[in-house]
Amino acid sequence: MLERKVVSPEYMFFEAPREKKYLIGNEAVAEAVKRANVDMVISYPITPQSEATHIVGDIYAQGYVKDYYRGEDEFNVMSAMAGAAMGGVRAFTATSGPGTLRAFEMFPCWAGERLPIVCAFMTRGVNSPLTIQPDNIEIGWLADTGMLIFHAEDPQDFFDMILQAYVIAEQPDVHLPVGVCADGFFVTHTREIVELTPEDEMLPPYDPSVSPVVTMDMETVPVRHMKDPFVMKSNYISYNTHASWQQEVRAAAERARKYITRYMGSPVEVVHPGAEILFMASGTAAAQARVAMERMRAEGIDIGLVKIKVIRPFPEKEITELAEVPRIIIIPEHNITGWLARDIKSRVNNNAKIYGGPRVFGGMTMPPEMLVEETKKLLLNLVTA
């Protein structure tokens, strides 16, 4: 293991020199964990995630992570992650599709317990029929757990977002779990150039003493709602406590916005904002839309792109403002439910101009050629109408 020094998040994100490496997304995850000064990692293998926590196991063996073990299944892992975070350590894990669903009960628990866990979700189709291929339907479900949700476009985003996630999650007035999502295979197994910060520089350690909920150990009893569950008393106070605590979790997510701006720049990236047509997309759908946009602009079509990096807290203000200008908004997605279109349509005035699609699911590629064709069809319909 290299001799390492602690650097400030501001230095690491904005000033540190970057070295170009040719990595797959799963390798970029391990590089992020190495620099995130993580105390504990608990893993359970599932494609397309397995390689990431496998490599994190290697860096544990080298000394970069203090503790690491393999749990018995995803529910076990996510429960143990809660235990680690309640005990006051910085924890990391990752899972995919069916693993996410198996462990699902724990995600609202993490949020309710105000645990700043970072979990990578390498999204995958869910059964049945059985699939291991990319499909991000699970992000739509995760969006309502109270966790903060980021969505990476490529291995570079995946690396950066995991580091940013820890810094944002651990702010005392936020203190919430973050799900950093990336489309399986299209990010996890895709090899491309990733710019890494120096290997011997790491984030400052987690300070549990500033946590808004008490860290649990043999001398300190758990947070009030854990040690003396209100469920035991069916009365107004118990109902009201649950209601107000859920509101507090959502309020904490709102308070995360200023840190998202500080450390991620903006929850959205905008290319050609004044265009007549706008793609709004997240994850690798944004990458495909970027290529389709360039091809159409070369043909003289006035089209732009809004890449949505943060799914929760949803960038409401940015999206409503950006939606004012274009005549058509197209939302390509890698899932059948169209959770992003649902999010956007429910917030935008005059949402008849929003086209929720095209959607590619079940593991197939979203060809830029198809996005170009669909966009042209919409334009033609508009002219005919």
What does the binding site for other proteins look like in residue numbers (CB under 8 A)? 21-22, 27, 30, 47, 50-51, 54-55, 58, 132, 154, 183, 185-187, 189-193, 284, 287-288, 290-291, 364-369
Smallest separation, CB 95 to other proteins (Å) = 18
Smallest separation, CB 22 to other proteins (Å) = 5
Q: Which is nearer to other proteins, 9 or 368 (CB)?
A: 368
Q: Which is nearer to other proteins, 63 or 367 (CB)?
A: 367
| Pair type for strands 19-24 and 191-196 | antiparallel
Q: Based on the number of CB atoms within 10 Å of its own CB, is 243 exposed (0-12), middle (13-18) or buried (19 or more)? A: exposed
Q: Which is nearer to other proteins, 59 or 331 (CB)?
A: 59
Q: Which is nearer to other proteins, 21 or 353 (CB)?
A: 21
Under 8 Å between Cβ of 357 and 158: no
Under 8 Å between Cβ of 124 and 184: yes
H helix intervals, the chain: 9-14, 25-35, 50-61, 74-86, 97-102, 106-112, 137-142, 155-169, 224-227, 236-255, 257-264, 284-298, 316-322, 339-345, 368-384
Smallest separation, CB 263 to other proteins (Å) = 24
Residue in 23, 377, 15 with CA at minimum distance from that of residue 195: 23
Q: Which is nearer to other proteins, 254 or 369 (CB)?
A: 369
Angle at 304 between CA 302 and CA 308, to 5 degrees: 165
Q: Based on the number of CB atoms within 10 Å of its own CB, is 104 exposed (0-12), middle (13-18) or buried (19 or more)? A: middle
Under 8 Å between Cβ of 126 and 363: no
Q: Which is nearer to other proteins, 85 or 271 (CB)?
A: 271
Q: Which is nearer to other proteins, 109 or 132 (CB)?
A: 132
As a whole number of angstroms, the distance between CA 40 and CA 57 comes to: 11
Smallest separation, CB 267 to other proteins (Å) = 20
The torsion region of residue 63 among left (phi > 0), alpha (psi -120 to 50) and beta comes to: left
Residue at token pair 């095209």:
358
Smallest separation, CB 60 to other proteins (Å) = 14
Under 8 Å between Cβ of 38 and 89: no
Three-state DSSP at 255 gives helix
Smallest separation, CB 365 to other proteins (Å) = 3
Smallest separation, CB 299 to other proteins (Å) = 17
Smallest separation, CB 102 to other proteins (Å) = 18
Residue in 299, 245, 305 with CA at minimum distance from that of residue 270: 305
Q: Which is nearer to other proteins, 238 or 365 (CB)?
A: 365
